[in-house]
Amino acid sequence: MGDRIIKFIEHFRGSEYTFLYGCCYWFAVILAERFRDDHPAIMYEPVRGHFVTRIGGRYYDVRGDVTEMYQYKQMYAMDRLRESDSSYYRHLMRDCRDFEAVGE
């Protein structure tokens, strides 16, 4: 499974900056949609403020398999965060999905 994911991610070579600094949520959505049959989860790491996609127990972003970088970090599954802390979830969606940060 990992090879399929990596081959898909390779099509985004050259767009790393965009999907690492400002649009990481949207890359997580792309991966989750593309590999939806593998039961993905969009995950959020709050210290770096970065979204990744968990597929088959591994973490992926535009750089490829980033499991080693995130395996010991506090990660939040977005579907669970929506239920457990709806205010935090709404703020993340406002800022990272909708690009409607307060004060703009």
Domain ranges of the chain: 2-97
pTM of the model: 0.92
Q: Model confidence over 21-78: pLDDT tens digits?
A: 999 999 999 999 999 999 999 999 999 999 999 999 999 999 999 999 998 899 999 9
Sign of the CA dihedral running 36, 9, 89, 57: positive
Give me the pLDDT at residue 103, please. Answer: 59
The side-by-side arrangement of strands in the sheet containing 58-61 is 64-65, 58-61, 50-55, 41-45, 76-77
The Cα 20–Cα 85 span in angstroms is 25
At 64, is the secondary structure helix, strand, or coil?
A: strand
Query: Among all chains, which residue has been given the structure tokens 């898909």?
Result: 8
- Mention every residue, 6+ apart, whose C-beta is less than 8 A from residue 26: 19, 97
The Cα 58–Cα 70 span in angstroms is 9
Point out which residues pair with 53 in neighbouring strands.
42, 60
